[in-house]
Chain A
Amino acid sequence: MKEKVKNTLAVFSVCLPAITFIVWIAAYCWLLNGDRYKAFMQPKLRPMLILALLLLLIFVMALISQLSRKKKETNITDVWLRTAILFVPALFLWTVYGQSLGAYALSKKTFDADEIFSIPQTQPEQLSIMDSSVKSASLLDLLKNSDEFEGTHVATEGMVFRSNTIAENTFKIFRFAIICCAADALPLWILVNSEESQNLENETWVKVEGIFKIKKINGRQIPHIDAEAVQPITTPAPEKQYLFFY
């Protein structure tokens, strides 16, 4: 009986590489469908994902065509172990999809601890508004073209981050911008001065409207919005939560 089980396992083990690749083909199809992959990586890498899918298909075909000629696996444990390890990211993908980098990741992915802590209260400044019409812009656009937006009426979206070290009527509006994948995500944030924000919890998605200004705090240039309106909005789908360089 034991011998029979061992034999069956050995025969089945021969198919394991092909089965593993089929699982990954399914994972890539699922990611490409509805652009779900954008919850993890840059849209410009889509062709690479399609290429990976095609290569895996070719690998499976090659493995299946050689199945009849392949001898029984002698090192069954090793083959099962490889399969289990290659299944781990697929399981994580299935579990983690729907979540995104939030306030916790902000504290881990910031390069300078001072950026997160010890933000003093600042008074809204009297500004000469150059353009009264509201310009909608992402945090990335605002920060990239801060000179162009300075002093203008802007609207932007992102998550709320507050902490004990940030003044009461101030919070950070933040999002992550991806270069290639979420591992290299850089947190982008702007300080928002607003009286309406007291009840907003961390990671609440909001739309902020107000005057964009670069202020000097502790000798550093810090982007600010003196908010006129802060409105909670529906949390975007996971694939729409990140900003992308390029």
Chain B
Amino acid sequence: MLKTFPITAEVNHHHSDKQKSGKASRWAQICFVLLAICLLIFFRNTPQFNTMGITFISIVLEAFPFMLIGTLVGGFIEVFVPQEKITRWLPEGRFMTVFTAAGLGIFFPVCECAVVPVVRRLLNKGVPLSAAVAFLLGGPIVNPVVAASTAVAYFFDWSIVVNRLAFGYFIAVAAGLLMSAFFTKTQAIRPDTLENQRFFVHADSAESGVNTSLRKKIGLAVNHAANDFFDIGRFLVIGAFLAASIQLLAPRYLFSPIASTPVSSISIMMVMAIVLNLCSEADAFVAASLQWTLVPISAQLAFMILGPMLDIKLLLMYGRIFRNRAIIVLSAITFLLVFLSMIFRDFMIK
């Protein structure tokens, strides 16, 4: 049986908020489609359009498989893992939960595109906000695939690998703890996502119960995954489009740090990480290509640590999990933590 929830004043408030942001978001999406069609009609066959188009499609093609895997894992978590089990698996105590979650990527290597739908489902299964944020930020860095790609890019300079993973881990832990200090779960997570999910859980619970056959359960999980992909996929597309456009408008050499000072080089490399939207398995190679320049190692690390945590496509995808205020705070916290820790590293090394 489908259970309904009591409509409280808070829910009404959320509902009007949702309608307002929903309308704005819808108009933004309509503008995106119209802009893309105009570009296709009026600018095709220009070098600018080709460069932007190739970059845009490449990001989408590269990210789609990982996102499909992420939504599938999320779907299976939704149907096969009961809430009580997840609560039981989590270590007791807020700190332990966050420290564990930030390092989960070692066992579940996920990239930044795959982790979003998984975290979305985990939040609905009772995972605390702090742990969810720690996994969201730490998972795409603290994992063996990223460690290997960083090692290869830097010719097996293990100090770079250790620095990247260690700073990534501690920044994820700190961001998780800070987010839970600033927000409660209901304050940070989109109300409509939670409400929809609750309805889903209840509606599905009849089907996903003990008596339901395994085949039906799998069907249900895949159906959840397909709907998730259909929902979140559009934000990946818009993010990739924006990233490709910015790459076109702001050439790489503009970011090339005149940078003799750590502050400017670290800041510039962090902005570049947000703009370029590279996969966490590829960014080490781009960073390593700067080794011969004046860009200090701390700035290269800032690029490799911030990129998988925060970039344009991720910001849009976070919009399917968090409220706008939470996204702003999360972005600010992440940016500041990466910046300060890299300045600190640079200072200590000198």
Q: Which residues of A contact B (CB under 8 A)?
A: 17, 20-21, 24, 31, 37, 39-41, 45, 48-49, 51-52, 55-56, 58-63, 65-66, 77-78, 81-82, 84-86, 88-89, 91-93, 95-96, 99-105, 107-113, 115-116, 179-184, 186, 245
A-facing residues in B39-87 (Cβ within 8 Å): 40, 44-45, 47-51, 53-62, 64-66, 68-69, 72
Nearest-CB distance from A89 to chain B (Å)?
4
Shortest distance from the beta carbon of A199 to any chain B beta carbon, whole Å: 21
Residue of A48, A116, A183 with most partner-chain B CB within 10 A: A183
- Nearest-neighbour CB distance to chain B for A29, whole angstroms, equals 13
Least CB separation from B72: chain A residue: A55
Judging by beta carbons under 8 Å apart, are A85 and B234 in contact? yes
A84–B279 touching, CB < 8 Å:
no
Distance between Cα atoms of A51 and B243 in the complex (Å): 25
Chain A residues near B238 (CB, 8 Å)? Answer: 85
Return the CB mask of B261-300 against A: 1 if under 8 Å, else 0.
0000000000000001111011101100110010000000
Given contact pairs A63-B223, A108-B251, A181-B61, A92 touches B29 in the complex (Cβ within 8 A) = no
B256→A111 contact, CB < 8 A:
yes
A179 & B282 in contact (Cβ 8 Å cutoff): yes
Specify the chain B residue showing the minimal Cβ separation from A70.
B223
The answer to whether A59 and B60 touch (CB under 8 A), given A103-B47, A104-B48, A184-B282, is: no
Interface membership of chain B positions 240-259, coded 1 if the CB is closer than 8 angstroms to chain A and 0 otherwise: 11011001100111011000
Closest 7 CB pairs of A and B: A104-B47, A181-B58, A52-B65, A96-B53, A180-B282, A62-B222, A59-B226
How long is the Cα–Cα vector from A47 to B48 in the complex, in angstroms?
A: 31
Flag if B253 contacts A112 (CB, 8 Å).
Answer: yes
Q: Are B68 and A183 in contact (CB under 8 A)?
A: no
B30 at the interface (CB under 8 A from A): yes
Let me know if A108 and B247 touch, CB within 8 A: yes
Pairwise interchain contact A112-B51, C-beta atoms closer than 8 A = no
Q: Is the CB of B64 within 8 A of A52?
A: yes
**B237 is an interface residue with CB less than 8 A from chain A:** yes
B165 on the A face (CB < 8 A): no
Q: Which of B36, B54, B278 has the most CB of A within 10 A?
A: B54
**A89 adjacent to B240 (CB under 8 Å):** yes
A179 neighbours in B (Cβ, 8 Å): 282, 285-286
Which residues on the A side are within 8 Å of B32 (C-beta)?
85, 88
Q: Which residues of B contact A59 (CB under 8 A)?
A: 68, 222, 225-226, 229
Residues of the B chain whose Cβ atoms lie less than 8 Å from the Cβ of A88: 32-33, 36, 237, 241
Asked whether B219 is an interface residue with its Cβ less than 8 Å from the other chain, the reply is yes
Chain B nearest Cβ from A6, distance in angstroms: 18
**Minimum distance in angstroms from A92 CB to a CB of chain B:** 5
Bound CA–CA A31/B61 (angstroms): 10
> CB distance A40 to B256 under 8 Å?
no
A100 to B47, CA, bound (A): 9
Can you name 16 extra interface pairs (CB under 8 A) apart from A180-B62, A245-B285?
A: A17-B226, A41-B58, A81-B33, A85-B233, A89-B61, A92-B40, A100-B50, A104-B48, A105-B47, A109-B252, A111-B256, A112-B256, A180-B278, A183-B244, A184-B279, A184-B283
Distance of A20 Cα from B234 Cα, bound (Å)? 12
Residues in B neighbouring A92, C-beta threshold 8 A = 36, 40, 53, 56-57
The reply to whether A56 and B33 contact each other, CB–CB distance below 8 Å, is: no
Partner of A55, one of B62, B69, B234, B248: B69
Question: B33, B248, B276: which has the most chain A beta carbons within 10 Å?
Answer: B33
In the complex, which residues of chain B have a beta carbon less than 8 angstroms from the beta carbon of A65?
Answer: 219
CB-based contact B285/A51 at 8 Å:
no
Chain B: minimal CB distance from A59 (Å): 4
B256 and A183 form a contact (CB under 8 A)? no
| Residues of A with C-beta under 8 A to B277 | 183
Q: How far is the CA of A180 from the CA of B226 in the complex (A)?
A: 26
| Chain A contacts for B69, CB-based, 8 A | 51, 55
Which one of B45, B65, B253 lies within 8 Å of A49 (CB-CB)?
B65
In the bound complex, do residue A109 and residue B251 qualify as a contact, i.e. CB atoms below 8 Å apart? yes
Find chain A residues with CB under 8 A from B40 CB: 91-92, 95
**Contact at A89–B56, with CB atoms within 8 Å?**
yes
The residue on A at minimum CB distance from B281 is A180
The docked-state distance in angstroms from the alpha carbon of A63 to that of B223 is 6
Chain B, Cβ-Cβ closest to A54: B68
B212 at the interface (CB under 8 A from A): no
Contact A62 B60 (CB under 8 A): no
Looking across the interface, which residue of chain B has its beta carbon closest to that of A77? B26
